[in-house]
Structures are given as structure tokens and as C-alpha cells.
Amino acid sequence: LKAMLCEQSDIDWFSFPLLAGQRIHINPRVLTPGMTIFRQSPGSGFYEDRENSNQVVSQSGNYLLGIHSQEAVDNLPYEIDIQI
């Protein structure tokens, strides 16, 4: 996944349908300073971080991934490897 936050208040959201027992591995390769990742596994609450994750989901549903930055700059690039 390679994209760019276009505006200061921009949040990019992505959704990945998963079945119970599937593994999702997320590796943030390029994040600008101040950029964070919002995540929500099926059946759980949101959490925020900047780290790799390797998770087996316990429920079927959509895995949500959001990218946000606190920086007062437009056009911030990011790159995240996602494997399901």
C-alpha cells in the first residue's frame, strides 16, 4: 500500500475482509514523523500505533486500517506492506 495524505486533516481508511483464523501482517515501511496508524480487528476496539503487527483474527469481519498525521503539512507519503 503506497499512498499520500493529501490535506492536514486527512485520514485514509482501508478495509480488509477477513475470516476467523486468518492472519494479517502489517509492516509500516515509510511513515513520516507524527504519522500514526489506527487499527481495528473484527470484534475489537480501535488502537493506535506505528509498529509492525502480526495477528490472527478470532472473528470474521472487516479489519480497518486508518492513516493519520498531526503534522501541519500537506502531501505526506506513506508505504505499508500488508499480507493476508
Q: Is residue 28 a contact partner of residue 78, using CB atoms and an 8 Å limit?
A: yes
18 has a pLDDT exceeding 90: yes
For residue 53, CA distances in Å to 9, 10, 40, 61, 64 come to 25, 23, 12, 18, 13
74 has a pLDDT exceeding 90: no
Tell me, what's the pLDDT at 13? 95
Tell me, what's the pLDDT at 20? 97
Tell me, what's the pLDDT at 79? 95
Q: What is the pLDDT of residues 21-67, one digit of tens each?
A: 999 999 999 998 889 999 999 999 898 988 999 999 999 999 999 99
Q: If pLDDT is split at 50, 70 and 90, which confidence band does 17 have?
A: very high
